[in-house]
């Protein structure tokens, strides 16, 4: 066709190229991840300049009652909006202001399961307004605002006229990090918390200890880490480290949920706490090896009360994860004293009843400490006495929605993790596998479905340390983030989500997060080692 009329062909090419540029410009302005519930963009745009952009307070927030969470967020997001610029002492006069208003002043507390993250964002000429019920909702709105700002090819910053009303589909949107199988430096954890905030995750599930190592440094039981950590000095989390992580997470609206998994997964515990684990027998004599926590001794529960009391004082979140998964009964079965205890209790040879006996006592301890317990689904699956349970985390493969349905029919709350195990190596393009998950696609009443409080991405540590943590997580975890935040009907199409996720991945790179590529292509600002 071009050979017939080269001039006409050149004009067509020019128009086509112009349309592509306009299309890309609009996509840049509209590429928010996760997708807001109500999102009304406009082609009308306004230029932003770092020298004349400011954040402001309105309603319940003034110079006498400022908000430390927001003050810190203003500094962070100014550097994200305008890389290379610092918020302090830069503004000479304000031409564009983002004004924050809160329905209630809750800046001094911690986010919790019931915290509202709802916000409303309006962008128009010369200003933008962000209203939220809580400071945690304002943080989500600030993240959305930061993603609306883009640069043209000349380096000028713009934002389009926009109306957004937003809130999460699920209140619990977590990421689990395993710091026992490989120790993760505190800085790697903090970097993950940054990336979590960018994707609007709100729970850091800290699987602190397990069979391989006990890196949590306890004040009451220092030998747990002195003898159970990979190294008692370099591979531990001090009380100062833990406080730093909790504070860093709080400033980003993220809860820190500690997990101390027992009675299984406790080999490292026994190195620093004698008589805690069950001696295994070979015939009539001890074999010299040890199994799960010994549930027959009063000293076991005295120890657990003291340890969990310390944990409850260190971690402010009202929830604690007690584990309870994958308990190997073979050692209990081999021990004559365990068998005698079971006979006395009328358990027969059903060792799941012994585990239930132990878990119920530990749950009661957490209740005394005014903490709500979370357990893995094994506790629900194998135990008849379920009334003492509160929240069950579903992690096994197979028909996981069948399991979700069974749990909610029992009147218990559910966290879904089964479809979001990201620790195994896999190509980044399988992100759609984590996107096409429908947590409520089971037969049940609205009341039962309301018991599904959210989901969690799990990053177990067998093959993961600080060298590959970020690229293994991102951007695949972001696919789960949108599923847990956004409206299912508006985010059911992988093809429509792909360009937004590509753009979001580029944003992660510019913010210093090593996110794997989704496919062939490039980002305007490639990852720079920091």
Q: Give me the active site residues, please.
A: 326
Strands (E), 69-215: 96-102, 119-124, 127-132, 150-151, 157-166, 172-178, 203-207
User: What token pair was written down for 311?
Assistant: 């944990």
Assess contact for 255 and 208: CB atoms under 8 A. Answer: no
Closest CA relative to residue 291, chosen from 331, 336, 350: 331
Residue that is written with structure tokens 């195994």 in the block? 424
Query: How many whole angstroms separate alpha carbon 110 and alpha carbon 101?
Result: 19
Four-residue CA torsion sign, 77, 83, 89, 91: negative
SS3 of residue 286 by DSSP: strand
Query: How many whole angstroms separate alpha carbon 309 and alpha carbon 466?
Result: 31
Query: How many whole angstroms separate alpha carbon 319 and alpha carbon 391?
Result: 10
Q: How many CB atoms lie within 10 A of CB 71?
A: 15
| Contact residues for 290 (Cβ-Cβ < 8 A; gap 6+) | 267, 270, 277, 278, 279, 280, 331
Q: How many CB atoms lie within 10 A of CB 19?
A: 10
Dihedral-angle region of residue 331 (phi above 0 means left; psi in -120 to 50 means alpha; beta otherwise): alpha
Backbone angles phi and psi of 490, in degrees to 5? -85, -10
User: What token pair was written down for 95?
Assistant: 């031409």
**What is the separation, in whole angstroms, between the first and last Cα of the chain?**
50
Query: How many whole angstroms separate alpha carbon 385 and alpha carbon 388?
Result: 7
């Amino acid at each position: 066709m071009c050979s017939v009329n080269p001039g006409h062909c050149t004009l067509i090419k020019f128009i086509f190229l112009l349309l592509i540029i306009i299309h890309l410009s609009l996509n840049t302005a509209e590429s928010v991840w996760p997708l807001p519930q109500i999102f009304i963009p406009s082609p009308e745009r306004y230029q932003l300049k770092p020298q004349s952009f400011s954040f402001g307070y309105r309603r319940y927030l003034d110079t006498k009652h400022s908000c430390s969470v927001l003050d810190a967020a203003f500094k962070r997001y100014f550097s994200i909006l305008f890389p290379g610029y610092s918020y302090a002492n830069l503004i000479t006069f304000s031409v564009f202001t983002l004004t924050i208003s809160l329905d209630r002043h809750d800046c001094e507390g911690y986010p919790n399961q019931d915290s509202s993250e709802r916000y409303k964002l309006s962008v128009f000429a010369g200003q933008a307004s962000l209203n939220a019920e809580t400071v945690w909702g304002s943080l989500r709105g600030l993240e959305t605002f930061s993603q609306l700002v883009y640069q043209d090819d000349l380096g000028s910053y713009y934002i389009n006229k926009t109306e957004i009303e937003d809130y999460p589909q699920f209140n619990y949107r977590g990421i689990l990090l395993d710091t026992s199988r490989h120790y993760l430096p505190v800085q790697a954890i903090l970097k993950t918390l940054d990336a979590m905030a960018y994707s609007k995750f709100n729970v850091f599930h800290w699987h602190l200890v397990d069979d391989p190592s006990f890196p949590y440094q306890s004040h009451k039981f220092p030998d747990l880490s002195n003898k159970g950590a990979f190294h008692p000095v370099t591979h531990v989390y001090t009380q100062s480290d833990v406080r730093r992580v909790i504070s860093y997470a709080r400033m980003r609206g993220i809860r820190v949920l500690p997990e101390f998994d027992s009675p299984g997964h406790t080999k490292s515990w026994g190195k620093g706490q004698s008589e805690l684990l069950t001696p295994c027998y070979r015939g009539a004599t001890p074999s010299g090896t040890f199994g799960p926590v010994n549930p027959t001794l009063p000293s076991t529960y005295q120890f657990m009360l003291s340890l969990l009391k310390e944990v409850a004082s260190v971690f402010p979140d009202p929830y604690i994860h007690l584990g309870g998964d994958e308990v190997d009964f073979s050692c209990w079965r081999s021990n004559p004293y365990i068998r005698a205890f079971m006979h006395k209790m009328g358990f027969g040879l059903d060792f799941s009843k012994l585990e239930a006996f132990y878990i119920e006592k530990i749950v009661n301890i957490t209740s005394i400490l005014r903490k709500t317990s979370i357990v893995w689904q094994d506790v629900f699956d194998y135990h008849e006495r379920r009334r003492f349970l509160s929240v069950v985390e579903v992690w096994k493969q197979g028909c996981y929605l069948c399991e979700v349905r069974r749990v909610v029919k029992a009147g218990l709350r559910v966290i879904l993790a089964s479809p979001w195990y990201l620790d195994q190596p896999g190509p980044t393009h399988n992100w759609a596998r984590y996107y096409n998950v429908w947590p409520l696609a089971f037969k049940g009443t609205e009341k039962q479905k309301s018991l599904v409080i959210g989901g969690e991405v799990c990053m177990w540590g067998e093959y993961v340390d600080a060298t590959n943590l970020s690229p293994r997580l991102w951007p695949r975890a972001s696919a789960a983030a949108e599923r847990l935040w956004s409206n299912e009907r508006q985010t059911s199409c992988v093809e429509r989500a792909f360009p937004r996720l590509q753009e979001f991945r580029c944003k992660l790179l510019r913010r210093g997060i090593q996110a794997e590529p989704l496919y062939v292509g490039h980002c305007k600002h490639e990852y720079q080692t920091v």
